[in-house]
Chain A
Amino acid sequence: MKSLDPRVNRLPGFGQGEVQPKAALDQLGTYEVFVQAKEGKPFQHEGIVHASDIELAYILAKETFTRRFTCVSLYVTDTRDVYVSPLSEGQTSAYDLLPAAEVQQGEQEMYEVYHLVKRGKQHVHAGEVSASSPQGAMQVAKQQLGVGKVVYNVWVIRKKAIRYTTDTDKDLWLTLPDKKYRDASDYKAGDKLTAFLEKAKHAV
């Protein structure tokens, strides 16, 4: 085997190695990524990244989802820290499918609440609630954010489990305006094409 690219031919062990199957968790765990498209707009779920810890997840989320000014802020949380309601359909709200839970006494913590209001779309931030457990947070969210609404799926996340964007992180996006070469608008060749076509016409 010989490649056209000399650097490929120089790869150590090129053409000689065996495939080593990957161990479980070779690709690390997953983190959920939430982004805010514009100042004042709600955060929404954007996707996942694989990472070894929440700091790396934050950096990878920035690289994966915000290469082109697509958000002003983002945050990440370990997938295991998202507490998920059942999925409902039709006119049934996911809140009505929650298992009955006694509201427990205990230390109150803040939770972010996400709603799926249209199937096929992303989960969108609905508000925050205070509760002593994720189950409790679901119940509080039902009363405070879910009345009279059809919500197909609810996620609650303990705020302490979230890696938010801090003020000093915001300069992560400061160099983006210089990276015009990532945008289609930087590749205008209309004039060149018109000149070429004009020349071709005269040549004929």
Chain B
Amino acid sequence: MYGGGNTFEGIKTDSLSQEDPQKLAEFEARIARGEKIEPGDWMPDMYRKQLIRMIEQHGHSEIIGALPEGTWITRAPGFKRKLSLMAKVQDEVGHAQLLYSAAETLGKSREQMLDDLITGKSKYSNIFNYPAFTWADSCFISWLVDAGAIVNQLANAKGSYGPYCRALERICAEESFHLKYGHHCVIYLASGTDKQRQMFQEALNRWWAPMMHFFGPSDKISAHTEVLMKWKVKMSTNDDQRNQFLDMYVPKIWELGFTIPDPKLKKNTETNKWEYTEPDWEEFKRVINGDGPCNKERLEVRRIAEERGRWVREALKSPSMRYVTPLA
């Protein structure tokens, strides 16, 4: 689960002038032909850095994204929902492994990536800095946050870096289960009791703003992405992805009789684009930079998990004991 477009940071293009112009031209021609870049190919330093950052953030988002849902496994209503949610959380953690592997092919070790997550140096999808208060919040994540992630991932799967694309194809196939499962849960809440409907409506009210933030800052204010689009690192703009998400899911939410907490939300039939209240980008910035309701908790849970697993990894690393049959 990942929204992409997660920062306001500009892209430093100055390293580009130091690249070998002929190699750069060949590299760009390859991408323009629709060919993938493989780990052994020459690539500009900036391409490598951007991809590491993006794939790593995506991996971290899978790991951290498993936390707000994972916390609901024991409290999911009934055995079947517990099984499904467990399978989903297992998938998310598996996705992180696939993504870390893809990032590793670009030269950053998994040790370094995990360190950078826990120290806060690397970011992850901002939406997971919000808490899942009720079961309905968990259903919102399974259905709509995953839906948003699929919009982003299907686009990125057509990108230029071979190992990332291959990981994403596998991930998207598994996400289809998440999406159907999430929708199933929400349909059951929607057609349930008044209390159940109210629960989901409240979750929707809580999560709508983070969901609008999910695709990243508006194109008007987000950092320059032309060179990344040309290199097929970024496949569509933040606003395009947001629009695509709204197109696909607003009708499905309305169909279930829920109200989206944005009075300005409507589709402009002339431009074919959705209009909405501009999300609060100051809040987005503040939460990304550490001041959200759950940032500290998420990283602390991750740190403790790493700490508690350390002895296992160490034991595995040097299996000095060997079993021999006792002598007498």
Contacts and interface: CB of A to CB of B under 8 A. Distances in A.
Interface stretch (B16-24, B32-40, B264-272): B32-40
Interface residues of A, number: 58
B39 to A, nearest CB: 9
Contacts of A68: 174
B101 A184 contact: no
B307 interface: yes
Given A181-B84, A189-B183, A17 B303 contact: yes
Contacts, number: 137
A85 B201 CA distance: 58
A27 B313 CA distance: 7
A196 B190 contact: yes
Nearest to B299: A19
Nearest to B305: A11
Contacts of B167: 47
B114 A22 contact: yes
A91 to B, nearest CB: 14
Which of B80, B94, B304 has the most A CB atoms < 10 Å from its CB?
B304
B183 A119 contact: no
B259 interface: no
Contacts of B303: 17, 19
B35 A119 contact: yes
Given A192-B191, A196-B256, A181 B87 contact: yes
A187 B184 contact: yes
Main SS at interface, chain B: helix
A13 interface: yes
B176 interface: yes
Contact of B297 (A8, A17, A27, A67): A8
A174 interface: no
Interface string B99-117: 0010010000111101100
B118 A64 contact: no
B276 to A, nearest CB: 25
Interface in A13-55: 13-15, 17, 19-28, 30, 47-50, 52-53
B143 to A, nearest CB: 11
A14 B300 contact: yes
B315 to A, nearest CB: 9
Contacts of A13: 304, 307
B41 A87 contact: yes
Contact of B177 (A1, A53, A183, A192): A183
Contact of B101 (A47, A89, A185): A47
Contact count band on B? 35 or more
A103 interface: no
Given A22-B111, A189-B184, A192-B188, A56 B316 contact: yes
Given A27-B109, A67-B94, A187-B177, A120 B35 contact: yes
Given A1-B300, A22-B111, A52 B38 contact: no
A56 B315 CA distance: 13
26 contacts: A4-B131, A5-B71, A8-B301, A17-B307, A19-B115, A19-B118, A22-B115, A26-B317, A27-B110, A28-B313, A30-B101, A52-B316, A64-B98, A87-B41, A89-B30, A119-B38, A120-B165, A181-B80, A181-B83, A182-B87, A185-B180, A187-B84, A189-B184, A189-B188, A195-B191, A200-B257
Interface of B: 30, 35-36, 38, 40-41, 71, 80, 83-84, 87, 90-91, 94, 97-98, 101, 104, 109-112, 114-115, 118-119, 131-133, 162, 165-167, 174, 176-177, 179-181, 183-184, 187-188, 190-191, 255-257, 296-297, 300-301, 303-304, 306-307, 310, 313, 316-317, 319
Interface of A: 1, 3-5, 7-8, 11-15, 17, 19-28, 30, 47-50, 52-53, 56, 63-64, 67-68, 86-87, 89, 116, 119-120, 122, 153, 179, 181-185, 187-189, 192-193, 195-197, 199-200
